[in-house]
Amino acid sequence: MERNLTYYEEAVYRLHSPDFCGLTRKQITETLFVSRRMVDGVLKNLEAKAPQLFPILTVKQNLVKICFMQLGRDRDTTSFVLGLSVKSVDGIIKTLRGKGVCLPRRTKTVPYRDYMDNSVRHRY
């Protein structure tokens, strides 16, 4: 099988991806002794070659995505579970949607009240 990525591109991706090392771009430049511009260029070329690897999410973005997608939580519960403010969770959700991550829009459910008994219909 032909290899599409160079070893250098793979190394930069592994250093940057939270699935592996999760370093920031600045930390990658210090680790590899290259300029920030070079790291940005490598990531841009990598995104053109392998778009399925992107977007690369930060640790907090990944946690919020997991809470929303897999656990089915709303923003208030997510902020409580992760120890973040509701405003920061809203900002992270906005960033995720901007990066193309599809998060479901949650609607508030109406709690059950006694007066609703007459409206319930049983169909079997």
* Torsion, CA 25, CA 30, CA 36, CA 41, rounded to 10: -70
Q: What is the pLDDT of residue 32?
A: 93
pLDDT tens, 79-122? 888 899 999 999 998 998 888 888 777 666 677 777 777 777 77
Domain boundaries, the chain: 7-53, 59-98
The rounded mean pLDDT for the chain is 85
Question: Residue 96 and residue 110: Cα distance in Å, rounded?
Answer: 28
Would you state the pLDDT for residue 124? 63
pLDDT at residue 39 in the model: 94
CA 26 – CA 13 distance, rounded (Å):
14
The model's pLDDT over 54-63, given as tens digits with 9 standing for 90+, comes to 888 888 888 8
**Which SS3 state, helix, strand or coil, does residue 88 take?**
helix
Res 108: pLDDT: 65
29-35 mean pLDDT: 94
Q: Judge whether 88 and 58 are in contact, CB under 8 Å.
A: no
On whether the CB atoms of residues 55 and 101 are closer than 8 A, the answer is yes
| 2-6, 33-37, 46-50, 81-85, range with the lowest pLDDT | 2-6
